[in-house]
């Protein structure tokens, strides 16, 4: 196998600082939103006593899932011995840590008492899956940093495989635990199923790879580093498999729910009568987030055009947000079933107990806090590839296996890449 | 070989003396005040002031046939008892948002049977489960169950994650969304923490016989709420539970709630 040469990102300083400046501005806005929330309290959000987890949690869970999925590329190389994926292992690890930090920051800053972080780190109730997660998240960061060391340092090379296996098992545990946060909630009809754990695992595969692909293509295009057609085709085909698997799990999730007669109304509401939630489920999650990207990925012409691959990745990410919006918020908006066979005519206060569903309108600070977390992840990634050797000089296909003729992927020219 | 004794450092002695004096002056008044703050009958064995034990389990029985539509006596009494009536809507917040966000410990629910149309009224609050899901999921242990069955939130360790609210099958918990201006010293409340019905725990700890909601319901002449020790077969609540068909809400979850309902 040819030697892989890693180099720092060598884009012009002005462009680098420009990118960093834009991201820092978003981080700053997110920070201001967090301060605003902390200072005045959560009354400035759309969250209520019925919908207690809002848009910040959608962002946070999405980033945590994506972090776990981003490490998959490294795992495929070192754990499953696919040489073509080896050069991308370092970027995969960096992105995984960056996304997790971004997600966790949102979660911490959305706490009612973020100043009590020390309490969260010193008081543990091990019956709580949340307490397990604190260890799983911090352990994942430590493990991936060790994994990066084993990939980057000669002394660490002998540990690359065992640490890689451990990181792979850990990410599975981590996402299982993230899914279980919801799956353990027996009180809420839409949750209350262990099926959410594997569903979150497969979602993480798709969202993590979509983000990885976008970051990889952007970073390489900016620095005029080639990505081979064959490699890109492999990655986007893998994304197609993951997205299709998410669709399968989505289908089985709702069929599982329908198996219990008590959930007919819930599924009917989410899929048909839920207004914005039904719309988000069908248009955002299924159509734009699943079917359209699948159509692009497996289209004989579009699937070979890099711009369309970028579009497919962006749509998968959009679909991920839509899916989590429906799963997290729709499930809280739907009223709790405390009195089966009865209709709640009045409950003294306006909330999820009344005959209808609860209200939730995300506020601007909530959205800014979420975007701030995304920007933090991208800042860490940008600084990482700039100052350390995370990115290989070339991801070009080996000469003998490069596709030729009309089947080859349509390439960006360097000028085109720099422009967009 | 013996070393000659060194001279005594009088400066260090003086400094230690001053430190002891200052510490005593700062700490002693606190100890005296703390002792003074304790109720006079705080000796072991005095009613309601000894250690909390599992020899009792506090609970409520709600007879919905006596719960009158339009009556809010229990809700208002709870608000007064726990300082919830001191809540103020933050400037600039809509009335609609305030209704969704303000703390409510007891809510008056009106139900209609889907088949028969029969209307039932009842107060709904924390059900003080034997196996509370909120306690299971709380990452820091801030949600806890006392030995006497009362489910509480420790405001010092609550980080405001709201996972307990996600886990509660009765939507009985409230999150303090806004800055607190007024509160009662016996019911500490604070922005960013979760709270819920505490079965008037300060009354329990001072040996009072009932809860604010049960008293108010009796004063209003309805007697729909009975409070008492579920473990004492002679208590009014145990006697009433024996004679009145009753059930737990969400019995399917097997939480063995401390609050029981008759007529639902």
Between B113, B135, B176, which is nearest A342 by CB?
A: B113
Contacts of B133 in chain A (CB under 8 A): 185-187
Asked if A346 lies within 8 A of B109 by C-beta distance, the reply is: yes
pLDDT digits (tens, 9 = 90+) for A88-140: 999 999 999 999 999 999 999 999 999 999 999 999 999 999 999 999 999 99
Residue A6 lies in a domain: no
Is B99 a domain residue? Answer: yes
**Are residues A317 and A211 in contact, defined by beta-carbon separation less than 8 angstroms?**
yes
- How far, CA to CA in Å, does B137 sit from each of A103, A128, B161, B220? 20, 4, 11, 38
* Residue A420 within any structural domain of the chain: no
- Asked if the structure places residue B16 within a domain, the reply is no
B174 interaction partners in chain A (CB closer than 8 Å) = 49
CB contacts, 8 Å: A45 with chain B: 177
Angle at A72 between CA A68 and CA A75, to 5 degrees: 125
Q: Which residues of B touch A54 (CB under 8 A)?
A: none
User: What's the number of domains chain A is made of?
Assistant: 1
Answer yes or no: is A285 within a domain.
yes
Q: CB neighbours (10 Å) of residue A399?
A: 7
Buried b (16+ CB within 10 A) or exposed e, A158-190: ebbeebbebbbebbbebbbbbbbbbbbbbbbbb
pLDDT surpasses 50 at B41: no
Q: What is the mean pLDDT of residues B2-31?
A: 72
Residue B36 — very low, low, confident or very high, per pLDDT cuts 50/70/90? low
- Is A409 within a domain? no
For A348, the closest chain B residue by CA position comes to B108
How many structural domains comprise chain B?
1
pLDDT in tens, B69-103: 999 999 999 999 999 999 999 999 999 899 999 99
Residue B47 within a domain: no
The mean pLDDT of chain A is 92
pLDDT of residue B47: 52
What is residue B31's predicted lDDT score, i.e. its pLDDT? Answer: 65
Q: Among A290-294, B41-45, B169-173, where is mean pLDDT lowest?
A: B41-45
pTM of the model as a whole: 0.89
Asked, for residue A411, whether it belongs to a domain, the answer is: no
How much is the average pLDDT of A299-321?
97
Is the Cβ pair A339, B161 closer than 8 Å? no
B115: domain range? 22-31+54-262
* B188 domain residue, yes or no: yes
Which of the four pLDDT bands, split at 50, 70 and 90, describes residue A411?
Answer: very low
As a whole number, mean pLDDT of residues A21-28 equals 98
Q: List the single residue in A with minimal CA-CA distance to B71.
A: A348
What pLDDT score was predicted for residue A270? 95
CB B59 within 8 A of CB B260: yes
Let me know how long chain B is: 264
Instruction: Please write the tens of the pLDDT for every residue from B142-153.
Output: 999 999 999 999
Nearest residue of A to residue B144, measured between CA atoms: A125
Q: Kindly report, residue by residue over B214-224, the tens digit of the pLDDT.
A: 999 999 999 99
Q: Indicate whether B40 belongs to any domain.
A: no
Between CA A357 and CA A346 the distance in angstroms is: 12
The predicted complex's ipTM stands at: 0.90
Residue B63 confidence (pLDDT) above 80:
yes
Give the integer Cα–Cα distance in Å for A296 and A168: 29
- Which pLDDT tens digit goes with each residue over B225-257? 999 999 999 999 999 999 999 999 999 999 999
Q: Of the candidates B139, B176, B178, which has its C-beta nearest A134's C-beta?
A: B139
Helix residue spans in A260-351 (DSSP H): 264-268, 276-279, 292-297, 306-324, 331-333
Top pLDDT among B24 and A18 is at A18
B45 falls within a domain: no
CATH, residue B144: 3.30.70.20
User: Lowest-pLDDT range, A288-302, A385-399, B38-52?
Assistant: B38-52
Distance CA B42, CA A230 (A): 80
Residue A405 has pLDDT above 50, yes or no: no
Q: Between B137, B162, B192, which is nearest A52 by CB?
A: B162
Does residue B176 sit within a domain?
Answer: yes
Query: Is residue B29 over pLDDT 80?
Result: no
* Whether the predicted pLDDT of B20 surpasses 90: no
Q: A346 and B110 in contact by Cβ < 8 A?
A: yes
CB contact under 8 A, A348 and B175: no
**Cβ distance of A43 and B168 shorter than 8 Å:** no
- Residue A220 within a domain: yes
Q: Using a CB-CB distance cutoff of 8 angstroms, which residues of chain B are in contact with residue A344?
A: 109-111
Residue A417 inside a domain? The answer is: no
CATH number of the domain at A260, please: 1.20.1630.10
Pick from A61, A112, A362 the residue to mutate for testing the B interface (most B CBs within 10 Å). Answer: A112
Report pLDDT for B214. 98
Tell me: pLDDT of A244 over 90: yes
pLDDT of residue B18: 81
Domain encompassing residue A189: 11-339+356-391
């Amino acid at each position: 196998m040819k030697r892989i040469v890693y180099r720092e990102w060598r884009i012009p300083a002005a462009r680098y600082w420009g990118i960093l400046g834009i991201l820092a501005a978003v981080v700053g806005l997110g920070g201001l939103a967090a301060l605003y929330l902390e200072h005045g309290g959560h009354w400035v959000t759309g969250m209520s006593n019925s919908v207690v987890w809002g848009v910040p949690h959608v962002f946070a869970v999405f980033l945590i899932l994506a972090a776990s999925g981003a490490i998959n590329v490294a795992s495929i190389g070192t754990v499953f011995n696919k040489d073509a994926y080896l050069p991308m292992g370092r970027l995969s690890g960096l992105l995984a840590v960056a996304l997790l930090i971004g997600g966790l920051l949102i979660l911490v800053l959305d706490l009612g008492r973020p100043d009590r972080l020390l309490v969260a780190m010193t008081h543990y109730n091990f019956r709580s899956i949340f307490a397990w997660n604190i260890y799983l998240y911090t352990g994942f960061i430590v493990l991936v940093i060790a994994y990066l060391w084993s990939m980057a340092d000669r002394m660490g090379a002998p540990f690359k495989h065992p640490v890689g296996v451990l990181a792979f098992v850990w990410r599975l545990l981590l996402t299982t635990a993230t899914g279980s946060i919801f799956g353990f909630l027996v009180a809420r009809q839409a949750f209350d199923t262990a099926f959410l754990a594997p569903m979150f695992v497969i979602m993480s595969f798709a969202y993590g790879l979509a983000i990885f692909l976008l970051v990889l293509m952007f970073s390489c295009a900016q620095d005029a580093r080639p990505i081979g057609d064959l490699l890109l085709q492999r990655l986007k085909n893998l994304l197609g498999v993951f997205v299709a698997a998410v669709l399968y799990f989505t289908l089985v999730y709702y069929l599982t729910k329908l198996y219990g007669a008590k959930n007919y109304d819930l599924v009917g509401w989410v899929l048909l009568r839920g207004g914005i939630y039904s719309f988000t489920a069908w248009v955002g999650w299924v159509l734009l987030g699943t079917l359209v990207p699948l159509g692009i990925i497996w289209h004989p012409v579009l699937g070979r055009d890099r711009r369309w691959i970028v579009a497919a990745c962006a749509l998968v990410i959009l679909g991920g947000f839509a899916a989590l919006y429906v799963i997290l918020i729709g499930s809280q908006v739907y009223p709790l079933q405390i009195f089966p066979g009865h209709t709640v005519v009045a409950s003294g206060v306006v909330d999820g107990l009344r005959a209808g569903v609860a209200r939730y309108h995300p506020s601007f600070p909530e959205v800014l806090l979420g975007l701030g977390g995304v920007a933090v992840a991208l800042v860490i990634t940008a600084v990482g590839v700039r100052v350390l050797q995370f990115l290989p000089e070339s991801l070009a296909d080996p000469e003998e296996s490069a596709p030729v003729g009309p089947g080859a992927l349509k390439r960006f020219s360097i000028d085109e890449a720099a422009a967009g | 070989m013996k070393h000659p004794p060194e001279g005594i450092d009088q400066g260090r002695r003086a400094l230690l003396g001053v430190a002891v004096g200052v510490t005593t002056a700062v700490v002693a008044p606190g100890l005296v005040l703390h002792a003074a703050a304790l109720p006079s009958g705080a000796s072991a064995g005095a009613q309601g002031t000894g250690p909390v034990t599992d020899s009792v389990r506090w609970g409520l029985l709600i007879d919905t046939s006596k719960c009158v539509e339009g009556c809010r006596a229990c809700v208002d009494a709870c608000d007064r008892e726990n300082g919830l009536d001191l809540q103020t809507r933050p400037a600039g917040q809509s009335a609609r948002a305030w209704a969704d966000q303000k703390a409510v410990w007891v809510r008056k629910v009106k139900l209609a049977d889907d088949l028969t149309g029969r209307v039932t009224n009842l107060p709904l609050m924390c059900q003080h489960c034997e196996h509370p899901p909120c306690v299971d999921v709380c990452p820091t242990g801030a949600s806890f169950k006392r030995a006497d069955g009362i489910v509480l939130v420790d405001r010092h360790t609550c980080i405001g994650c709201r996972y307990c609210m996600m886990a509660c099958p009765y939507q009985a918990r409230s999150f303090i969304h806004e800055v607190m201006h007024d509160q009662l010293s016996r019911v500490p409340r604070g922005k960013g923490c979760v709270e819920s019905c505490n079965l008037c725990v300060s009354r329990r700890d001072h040996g009072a016989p009932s809860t604010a909601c049960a008293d108010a319901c009796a004063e209003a002449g309805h007697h729909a709420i009975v409070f008492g020790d579920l473990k004492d077969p002679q208590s009014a609540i145990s006697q009433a539970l024996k004679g009145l068909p009753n059930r737990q809400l969400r019995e399917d979850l097997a939480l063995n709630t401390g609050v029981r309902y008759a007529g639902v």
